[in-house]
Amino acid sequence: MHRRKRYKNECVFSIEKLGVNGMNVPKEARTYCPKCKVHQAHTVSLYKPGKRRALAKGERHHKREKRGYGGQKYPLQREFAKTTKKQTLRVKCKVCGYTRHKDGIRLRKLVIG
Ligand SMILES: [Zn+2]
């Protein structure tokens, strides 16, 4: 599996130390920017995946692969054990505009601001 490169001093919000169910995240945080190579002010927002485009190459390929008898290639998840979803944070450097994602952790509620 491909792992993203980890940087030193990456823990800003001390995600691991905070509560299990809910978490408050500041709108702005001073953290390490890999592009500037120093700590800079960052704006923090919640990452949301974009809308799927039906005519994208992968979508067309998937649709074609799924056709016919035995077309489903992986078992569909029907019963869910987890009650939470992983939330990913987007941090944007205010100086150079470099945006990166913070690893998502399971949270019932995430409040930014
Ligand atoms: Zn920067």
The CA 100 to ligand 1 mean position distance, Å, reads 10
Question: Ligand 1 centroid to 94 CA: how many Å?
Answer: 7
Q: Which pLDDT tens digit goes with each residue over 45-100? A: 999 999 999 999 999 999 999 999 999 999 999 999 999 889 999 999 999 999 99
Q: How far apart are CA 88 and CA 63, in angstroms?
A: 28
The residues placing their C-beta within 5 Å of ligand 1, an ion, are 33, 35-36, 40, 93, 95-96, 98
Give the pLDDT confidence score for residue 57 in this predicted structure.
97
C-alpha distances in angstroms, 21 versus 46, 81, 82, 90? Answer: 17, 16, 13, 20
> Looking at the predicted structure, is the pLDDT value of residue 10 above 90?
no
Residue ranges covered by each domain of the chain:
19-48+84-113
CATH of 19-48+84-113, one of 3.40.50.1370, 3.10.450.80, 3.40.50.720, 3.40.50.150: 3.10.450.80
